[in-house]
Structure 1
Amino acid sequence: MTASVVVTGLGVTAPNGLGIRDFWNATLAGKSGIGPLTRFDASGYPARLAGEITGFSAEEHLPSRLMPQTDRVTRLSLVAADWALEDAKVRPAELAEFGMGVITASSAGGFEFSQGELKSLWSQGGQYVSAYQSFAWFYAVNTGQISIRNGMKGPSGVVVTDQAGGLDAVAHARRQIRKGTSLVVAGAVDALLCPWGWVGLHTSGRLSTAEEPTHAYLPFDDRAGGHVPGEGGALLIMEPADSAHARGAKVYGEIAGYAATFDGREPGLRKAVELALADARLTPGDVDVVFADAAAEPELDRVEAETLVEVFGLRGVPVTAPKTMTGRLYAGAAALDLATAFLAMEDGQIPPTVHVEPADRYGLDLVVSQPRPARLRTALVIARGHGGFNSAMVVRS
């Protein structure tokens, strides 16, 4: 029998809350972190709203020596990892260093750090470019810095599959634990809210240009006109179920099933969902809630809604998209949805999809406005990356 892999710790950095308690309370209250960009002047861009993390001071959490060598995304990741380890009551120094790994996802690496060094290059010359640029921009930098900080030398890596990445990283961690690794820090945090990153995000053609935050990100709504970008995500502590129970750890739940496909059309997404359910040895009727990808682009919303109706039936399962409170966090989005699913199962509350008036034509039982009390044992999380990446993950309490 294949070993069960469980989650014993969560670390969250999100636009509407830092840490799992602040984030979960804000999410249940329908508190949005979306608003006008403040980190730079976005007045000259078509899109000017974002899910920004406020009140975060890396200097309060990390040693000063890390400041000159890290991008904002790495600082957020390091703190999220610290919080997840603390939540799991894990002290890495007491564990075998080659038995611990780190697997994260990234959509762009340290964009803001690179922007600063490019500015120095063109305005002052190559001698003013930091030597840290050689790695601070890199997709794998969060994995590397978390590994160094915590002495984790076991199987590690990075996944680059855009917004599907958070699920893919957790799935890769699950495979490594089944092969014998005793603990893996897995998930994703992304942060692209700088001028260079903002230009890149606009190339997708999928950003909302609405100026009112409550009208900007409206998946499955006839008013949908694109998504709002955000920063943040979540990191999870994953362990074999037997060792987690042996040390008396609190267990949020199990990574029960996973599948991925590469096809942006309906069959690809549906196949990923069906294969994830098969991997978990569950039927559609066993799923209590779906955390939707929720692209807020009419054609993509149609594909996702048709997939859910085909698998679960017309309004056959409650669906939610709490990312309407944070924006789409790219690689961090699905990892945050996973953390939210575990908190929802623990609390017996389906978080709302705020500001949305669901269109009847989609045929979804979308949870809106207020949390919905429910007995939650199993959740499905769906994520899609730009260009055709589809991932689905089933988690069980």
Structure 2
Amino acid sequence: MSAPRAVVTGIGVVAPSGVGVDAHWRTVLAGTRRTGPITLFDPSGYPTRFGGEVPDFTAGSYADSRQLVQTDRWTHLGFAATRLALTDAGLPERAPDPYGYAMTLASSSGGNLFGQRELQRLWGGTSRTVGAYQSIAWFYAASVGQLSIHHQFKGPSGVLVAETAGGLDSLAHAARAVRRGTPVVIAGATECPLSPYALACQLRSGLLSDVADPERAYRPFDASASGYLPAEGGAVFVVEELAHALARGARIYGEVSGWGATHDAAHTTDDSAGDPVQYARAMRLALDRAGVAAADIDVVLPDALGVPRYDRSEAEALCAVFADRPPPVTTQKPLTGRAHQGGSALDVATALLAFAHDTLPASAGPDRVADGCELDFLREHRRPRSRLALVCARGFDGFNSALVLRGAAPTRGETP
């Protein structure tokens, strides 16, 4: 008897590229850059003053006043993305079978803005107190807790922490949960690493770009690459057992076919670049579990950190996997900024939407390919061939993840 198959039936996007899958896809196709000055706080005293923020986001449209008071903007983005994903999948707001619904999200930084406000009140105000919800709103599992309560998801749930790699790990975890008998799993990630404390933590890594032009600040694989720009947002997915989805007539975006995760077993240091051997191993594991060859892959969506030594290391890993066939690569991270776990989840959304629209989107750069990064970057939109995508991500301190997605037949028309 074959194992149950995990398919994606709903996508919720809340990102600098827009709110909802249609807004995100328009941004991707147009190649419109959505990074700009940080407005969530005054960044004037920091060397990095640009990032990607979700435009025109009204948290009250997706969560009630009680939930807004108890939670951080990162969780507000999670409320929005989850509701959009459930609506897209044609599922109700509350689970009709609570123990048949589970939730596994990824998170890197937790509720930064909430924690920043409360700690400033503690140490800078006269009351020397924090609000009652400080104990939970900042916690990296807060979104899973709040969302599973609100939507009544009582199946096996959890949160994954692997920096950017976790956005892919959450989908792998969801696929495993489906195989073990849970019909519906909510997966993905949102982030909001835009606060004074969060920006200071990222600056300490030395990997942020301090270029004062948002059009040129984040340029992965480019000869002028100088680091990344931080971003908020991400994507949430409804991952469903295939027979369950077919029984209710759900539209299917694609299948989570294979996954791989490895670790470098080394801390990130000032001169780290990630281990291309372990990174390539994660890719091969994903391909092997999906039962496909590297030559079958239509498109690769890479981690694309934008730091020259990391870009070269990633290109080395990809070339090791694809041998003498340069991998077809596209990245949209320069358009949105790097949203950590939310960014890799957003890459999954882009890949699935590409198959739904029968269009592989052109890469947002590089303009001048850096030495050691000579990959086959998609320079114009084109139609998929095998409907297979490899999405890759790395997390600081050695996390490596890869995911193979098998796209369903197109449902949203031909190439524009």
Q: Which bin holds the TM-score, normalised by the shorter protein?
A: over 0.9
Aligned ranges 1:270-285 → 2 under 5 Å: 270-285=280-295
Answering whether residue 220 of structure 2 is matched by residue 210 of structure 1, we say no
Match of 2:319 among 305, 309, 315: 309
| 1:157 counterpart letter in structure 2 | G
Structure 1 stretch displaced more, 357-366 or 328-337: 357-366
> 1:387 maps to which residue?
397
Aligned residue for 1:340, secondary structure, equals: helix
Shift in Å, 1:124? 3.2
Shift in Å, 1:159? 0.3
> 2:25 maps to which residue?
24
Aligned residue for 1:350, secondary structure, equals: coil
> 2:410 maps to which residue?
none
Answering whether residue 326 of structure 2 is matched by residue 325 of structure 1, we say no
Aligned ranges 1:85-104 → 2 under 5 Å: 85-93=86-94, 95-104=96-105
Aligned ranges 1:153-168 → 2 under 5 Å: 153-168=154-169
Change (3 A) 1:83 1:285: same
Shift in Å, 1:68? 1.0
* Separation of aligned partners in 2, 1:274 and 1:215: 33
Q: Percent identity?
A: 46
* Separation of aligned partners in 1, 2:43 and 2:236: 29
Shift in Å, 1:376? 5.1
More helix by share: 1
* Separation of aligned partners in 2, 1:114 and 1:360: 42
* Separation of aligned partners in 1, 2:141 and 2:88: 24
Aligned residue for 2:292, secondary structure, equals: coil
Do 2:38 and 2:53's aligned partners in 1 also have CA atoms closer than 8 Å? yes
Aligned ranges 1:256-295 → 2 under 5 Å: 256-263=257-264, 264-295=274-305
Shift in Å, 1:94? 5.5
* Separation of aligned partners in 2, 1:94 and 1:195: 38
* Separation of aligned partners in 2, 1:222 and 1:316: 19
* Separation of aligned partners in 1, 2:364 and 2:182: 40
Aligned residue for 1:380, secondary structure, equals: strand
Change (3 A) 1:125 1:352: farther
TM-score w.r.t. length of structure 1: 0.97
| 1:195 counterpart letter in structure 2 | P
Do 2:329 and 2:375's aligned partners in 1 also have CA atoms closer than 8 Å? yes
* Separation of aligned partners in 2, 1:79 and 1:394: 26
* Separation of aligned partners in 2, 1:47 and 1:216: 9
* Separation of aligned partners in 1, 2:371 and 2:127: 58
* Separation of aligned partners in 2, 1:16 and 1:326: 6
* Separation of aligned partners in 2, 1:317 and 1:298: 19
Shift in Å, 1:63? 1.2
Do 2:207 and 2:307's aligned partners in 1 also have CA atoms closer than 8 Å? yes
> 2:85 maps to which residue?
84
> 2:181 maps to which residue?
180
* Separation of aligned partners in 1, 2:122 and 2:54: 29
Shift in Å, 1:387? 1.2
* Separation of aligned partners in 2, 1:304 and 1:20: 28
Change (3 A) 1:348 1:313: farther
* Separation of aligned partners in 2, 1:312 and 1:158: 32
Answering whether residue 141 of structure 2 is matched by residue 140 of structure 1, we say yes
Shift in Å, 1:371? 2.9
* Separation of aligned partners in 2, 1:7 and 1:126: 49
* Separation of aligned partners in 1, 2:213 and 2:370: 20
Write out per-residue CA displacement over residues 360-389 of structure 1, whole angstroms, 9 at most, x where no aligned residue.
642201124x43343351000000001110
Shift in Å, 1:58? 0.7
Change (3 A) 1:374 1:281: closer
Aligned ranges 1:335-374 → 2 under 5 Å: 335-357=345-367, 358-359=369-370, 361-368=372-379, 370-374=380-384
* Separation of aligned partners in 2, 1:194 and 1:316: 39
* Separation of aligned partners in 1, 2:170 and 2:53: 24
Shift in Å, 1:99? 1.2
Do 1:289 and 1:376's aligned partners in 2 also have CA atoms closer than 8 Å? no
Write out per-residue CA displacement over residues 209-230 of structure 1, whole angstroms, 9 at most, x where no aligned residue.
1111121111111111111111
Aligned ranges 1:51-130 → 2 under 5 Å: 51-93=52-94, 95-124=96-125, 128-130=129-131
Which blocks of at least 5 consecutive residues in structure 1 are unaligned? none
* Separation of aligned partners in 1, 2:400 and 2:155: 28
**Equivalenced residues, count:** 396
| 2:308 counterpart letter in structure 1 | P
| 2:320 counterpart letter in structure 1 | E
> 2:412 maps to which residue?
none
| 1:274 counterpart letter in structure 2 | R
Do 2:295 and 2:325's aligned partners in 1 also have CA atoms closer than 8 Å? no
Which blocks of at least 5 consecutive residues in structure 2 are unaligned? 265-273, 408-416
Shift in Å, 1:314? 4.5
Aligned residue for 1:382, secondary structure, equals: strand
| 2:248 counterpart letter in structure 1 | R
Aligned residue for 1:143, secondary structure, equals: helix
Aligned residue for 2:94, secondary structure, equals: helix
| 2:200 counterpart letter in structure 1 | V
Aligned residue for 2:215, secondary structure, equals: helix
* Separation of aligned partners in 2, 1:94 and 1:124: 43
Aligned residue for 1:81, secondary structure, equals: helix
Shift in Å, 1:339? 0.7
The two structures, once aligned, show a CA RMSD in angstroms of: 1.4
* Separation of aligned partners in 2, 1:260 and 1:187: 16
Do 1:344 and 1:376's aligned partners in 2 also have CA atoms closer than 8 Å? no
Change (3 A) 1:68 1:248: same
Write out per-residue CA displacement over residues 21-79 of structure 1, whole angstroms, 9 at most, x where no aligned residue.
01101110011111111222212111111011120011123211212111000000011
* Separation of aligned partners in 1, 2:320 and 2:163: 26
> 1:46 maps to which residue?
47
